Amino acid sequence: MACFDIYFFWVLGKIISRNVRLIFRPDWLPQRRFKMNFEWDTVSRDAVFIIGAGQFGSRAARILSERDSQVFIVDLNAERLSLLRTLPVRSIVYDGVRFLVENFAKFQENSLIVPSVPLHLAFEWLRLSLQGTRKIVKTAVPVEAANRLPHHWPASEGSLLVSYADFACPDNCPEPEFCTVTGEERNVPLYEILRNLTHPEFHTYAIRSRQLAPGLGGYLVKDLQEMSDKVLHHEKGPFFLGTACKCHGILTAFKLE
């Protein structure tokens, strides 16, 4: 799996199918503020920011801490972060979405973001970053559009999960040309399918999650900025916003007011 947040949602989808309702709303999180334990001018151009320190974020921290790049991990749960204290990563006790929004101008455009939270991080960043200037209203993905996608099911926060697989993929999948489980060829990557999704009046944008290691993916800060610029280029929506690797993705529909 190259997208931690997408895999997390895949698991949630299976839970929801058993009639367990889980809802995640980042705007419900406490509006607490914490002092950062670093100076931004000491952050390297290729620094990695892992958003979320749960199961998948912790795994990302263990893998990426073996590289030369600076690694930061952001989570409101200080106890979770304390479990990573033996790793050469810097912990930031903060809401991940708000951390991205409030510090976005300080990031280098080539810094990496690794989404590891149970929400569509790119969409929530966009919604919060435009708060006070433009209003974003999440809507349902039209059935006609959803039916043109591979396997899909609703996420608990209102987005749509999309995948080539209807099974749990290996955590260490290297995104090969042929699926390691079924042997089927993945000749059209899912991020291209999302980019080419059309529906009357909708504008579509999809961010590619690039594999950083088997089972680990992320995107650049500049990918978020380019997405935001393209959305704001249009006076109004509706829009499709997706994040996907080759096989798994998440799609959110919204309108801009």
- Give per-residue burial for 199-231: e unless 16+ CB within 10 Å, then b: beebbbbbbbbbbbebbbbbbbbebbeebbeeb
Mean pLDDT of all residues in 118-132: 95
6 near 211, Cβ under 8 Å?
A: no
The length of the chain in residues reads 257
Structure confidence at residue 78 (pLDDT): 94
Quote the pLDDT of residue 8.
Answer: 46
Distances (CA, A) of 46 to 49, 55, 67: 10, 24, 11
pLDDT, average across residues 124-134: 94
Helices assigned H by DSSP within the chain: 4-16, 55-64, 78-82, 96-103, 121-129, 143-146, 190-195, 221-233
- DSSP-based three-state secondary structure for 97: helix
pLDDT greater than 50 at residue 17:
no
Compare 78 and 26 and report the one with higher pLDDT.
78
| All structural domains of the chain | 4-256 (3.40.50.720)
Greatest extent of the chain over all pairs of C-alpha atoms, in Å: 52
> What pLDDT band is residue 217 in, cutting at 50, 70 and 90?
very high
Look at 243 and 14; give whichever has higher pLDDT: 243
Which candidate, 86, 51, 55, places its Cα nearest to that of 72? 51
Whether the full predicted model's pTM is greater than 0.95, yes or no, is no
Give the pLDDT band of residue 37 (cuts 50, 70, 90): low
Confidence of residue 171 (pLDDT cuts 50, 70, 90): confident
The C-alpha atoms of residue 5 and residue 75 are separated, in whole angstroms, by 14
Cα dihedral: 203, 228, 187, 171 (round 10): -130
pLDDT of residue 25: 37
